[in-house]
């Protein structure tokens, strides 16, 4: 754990106060030099077939995938959601689960990709940023759409980008990772700015729409959920999160 990182809050008021503090911080930027020695992605899923925002105590499957030196290590932990889903407060529901998955990897990565926002947040501290601060690891957020930032879509050419703003503040980019499909959002997060986030997203996407580390993590989490749904048992690590 980053010695300066406070524990995960368990109440909305405490999380909001911590997000305001994190959003004001300006840590030393991580430098992307065209390659990354080790990179990871993390993803959490919950039971299918349910409606509404979910509930505290929902079972969750969080996976992390580490890519380094041409090899992939994937881990899954099973735990419980800490809260229902509420925009801007995702850390209450998913934060401890995702941290447990990343910490179960053989080593922490140089860069972590998170299926969450970063600076595109009412307090400039979405879960991708918060998790990076907890771990002491540079992070980039990747989502299907912006949270509160606005900006026009880029042209339909792989590699095209367009800025996303909150007022006059650039917080993310739309990134066209594959022609003919909807672009993704690359979020500035912990120790990364919008330009770095966009460059890293394209670098790690290859021929798919979503970046490779997140693809591995998403597949592992969903496979673990499917095994349990089929009555096969967890066959994964278990962690208590709430």
Return the HEC string of 33-67: CCCCCEEEEEEEECCCCCCCCCCCCCEEEEEEEEE
Per the structure, the complete domain to which residue 139 belongs is given by 35-238
Main-chain phi, psi angles of 44, to 5 degrees: -130, 140
Q: Is residue 27 part of a domain?
A: no
Q: Is residue 208 part of a domain?
A: yes
Mean pLDDT of the residues in the chain: 93
**Each residue's pLDDT tens digit, 184-232:** 999 999 999 999 999 999 999 988 899 999 999 999 999 999 998 877 6
Contact between residue 160 and residue 198 where contact means Cβ atoms under 8 Å apart: no
Q: Is residue 96 part of a domain?
A: yes
Number of domains in the chain: 1
Q: How confident is the model at residue 240 (pLDDT cuts 50, 70, 90)?
A: very low
Tell me the C-alpha distance between 140 and 190, whole Å. Answer: 7
Secondary structure (3-state) at 172: strand
Q: Is residue 111 part of a domain?
A: yes
Q: Is residue 156 part of a domain?
A: yes
Q: Is residue 174 part of a domain?
A: yes
- Say if residue 75's pLDDT is above 90: yes
Tell me the C-alpha distance between 101 and 200, whole Å. Answer: 22
CA angle 26, 30, 35 (to 5 degrees): 160
Secondary structure (3-state) at 142: strand
Q: Is residue 211 part of a domain?
A: yes
pTM equals 0.92
**Each residue's pLDDT tens digit, 17-31:** 999 999 999 999 999
Tell me the C-alpha distance between 91 and 112, whole Å. Answer: 16
Contact between residue 87 and residue 123 where contact means Cβ atoms under 8 Å apart: no
Tell me the C-alpha distance between 215 and 113, whole Å. Answer: 11
Q: Is residue 29 part of a domain?
A: no
> How far, in Å, are 51, 187, 189, 227, 237 from residue 171 at the CA level?
31, 7, 9, 38, 35
CATH of the domain at 41: 3.30.2170.10
H or E, element range at 79: strand 71-80
Tell me the C-alpha distance between 209 and 158, whole Å. Answer: 10
């Amino acid at each position: 754990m980053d010695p300066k990182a406070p524990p995960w809050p368990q109440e909305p008021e405490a999380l909001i106060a911590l997000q305001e503090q994190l959003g004001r911080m300006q840590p030393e930027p991580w430098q992307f030099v065209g390659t990354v020695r080790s990179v990871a992605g993390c993803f959490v899923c919950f039971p299918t077939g349910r409606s509404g925002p979910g509930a505290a105590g929902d079972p969750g499957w969080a996976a992390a995938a580490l890519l380094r030196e041409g090899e992939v290590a994937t881990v899954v932990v099973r735990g419980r959601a800490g809260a229902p889903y509420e925009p801007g407060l995702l850390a209450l529901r998913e934060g401890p689960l995702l941290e447990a998955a990343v910490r179960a990897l053989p080593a922490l990565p140089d860069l972590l990709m998170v299926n969450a926002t970063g600076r595109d947040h009412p307090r400039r501290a979405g879960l991708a940023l918060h998790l990076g601060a907890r771990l002491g690891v540079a992070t980039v957020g990747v989502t299907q759409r912006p949270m509160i930032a606005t900006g026009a879509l880029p042209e339909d050419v792989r590699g095209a980008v367009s800025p996303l703003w909150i007022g006059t503040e650039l917080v993310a980019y739309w990134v066209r990772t594959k022609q003919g499909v909807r672009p993704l959002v690359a979020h500035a997060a912990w120790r990364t700015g919008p330009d770095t986030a966009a460059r890293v997203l394209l670098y790690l996407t290859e021929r798919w729409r979503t970046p490779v580390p997140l693809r591995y993590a998403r597949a592992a989490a969903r496979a673990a959920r499917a095994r349990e749904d089929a009555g096969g048992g967890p066959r994964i690590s278990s962690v208590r999160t709430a």
